[in-house]
Amino acid sequence: MAVRTPFLAGNWKMNLDHLQAVAFVQKLNWSLKDASHENGTVEVGIFPPFTDLRSVQTLIDADRIAFSLGAQDVSVHDRGAYTGEVSGEFLAKLRVTYVIVGHSERREYHHESDDIVAEKVRAALRHGLVPVVCVGETAEDLEEFGASAVPVAQLEKALAGVPADADIVVAYEPVWAIGSGQAATPDQAQEVCAKLREVVAATMGEDAAARTRILYGGSVKSGNIASYMREPDVDGALVGGASIVVDEFSAIIRYQKHVGV
């Protein structure tokens, strides 16, 4: 079975300007060093706003900070007359590794359909970026269809035609758990993440399913991260609010030290 390196990813959403971003990344790095965190036991991902990417990339390169860089969205287009859009080509030039695709806030506020999300997955892959494909059900979906039906259908559409050797990450983010303080239980997260792994197996094959990391997101905090990480099909977390608080995100990254909590 493939070894999946745990991935703790911080989606800053529209928080922290580029000056705050630099200060934050330095503090987070010091906090981990102070706590004698061993780099390499987990992967740390930082997903700041577009305007911060260049500053954060310069800092992590110069100081050799072991954080991966991600963007929060990507255009379906490569270049041209698309005012306000950001091309995957430009992100790749900035040595951005990951890009979040299909976050529920984009689906809801920017009317991103499953088709657009699928196109964005392709755009990311075309430029050598790893898409972090977000899926999740609303509270109404949960009541009507149960937890897994909607995220499974969303992932099937997002991954249709994606080659078996593509590098992707999947994030299960129940919409009702995002920013609500009402996190899914580890059992709920495990159940849906296992179903999502079956979708990866069915669309991209067993090897891809064994190596693809599936994250849980929604009100993840330092106090509950360890309980998710014990689940066999949860390979990390996509963290929102707690990822812009240095001590919180630092403790989330060091969850292996408090697994017994």
Q: Contact with ligand 13P (CB under 6 A): which of 6, 7, 8, 11?
A: 11
User: What is the smallest separation between the CB atom of 23 and ligand 13P, expressed in angstroms?
Assistant: 21
Residues 99-118 that bind ligand 13P (CB under 6 A): 103
Q: Contact with ligand 13P (CB under 6 A): which of 220, 234, 246, 251?
A: 220
Q: Contact with ligand 13P (CB under 6 A): which of 191, 218, 225, 244?
A: 218
Q: Could you give the CA distance from residue 144 to residue 177 in angstroms, rounded to a whole number?
A: 17
Q: Answer for the pair 171, 183: CB distance below 8 angstroms, yes or no.
A: no
Structure tokens at 215: 């994250």
Q: Is residue 49 within the footprint of ligand 13P (CB under 6 A)? A: no
Q: Could you give the CA distance from residue 42 to residue 24 in angstroms, rounded to a whole number?
A: 19
Helices 149-159 and 114-126: crossing angle, nearest 10°?
40
Q: Could you give the CA distance from residue 142 to residue 232 in angstroms, rounded to a whole number?
A: 23
Segment interacting with ligand 13P, rule: CB under 6 A, options 36-44, 109-117, 187-195, 218-226: 218-226
User: What is the smallest separation between the CB atom of 105 and ligand 13P, expressed in angstroms?
Assistant: 7
Q: Contact with ligand 13P (CB under 6 A): which of 38, 51, 110, 179?
A: 179
User: Which residues have CB under 8 Å from 260's CB, separation 6+?
Assistant: 226
Q: Is residue 241 within the footprint of ligand 13P (CB under 6 A)? A: yes
Q: Contact with ligand 13P (CB under 6 A): which of 102, 217, 231, 251?
A: 217
Three-state SS for 101? strand
Q: Answer for the pair 252, 239: CB distance below 8 angstroms, yes or no.
A: yes
Catalytically active residues are 103, 173
Residues within the interface to ligand 13P (CB under 6 A): 11, 103, 173, 178-179, 217-220, 238-242
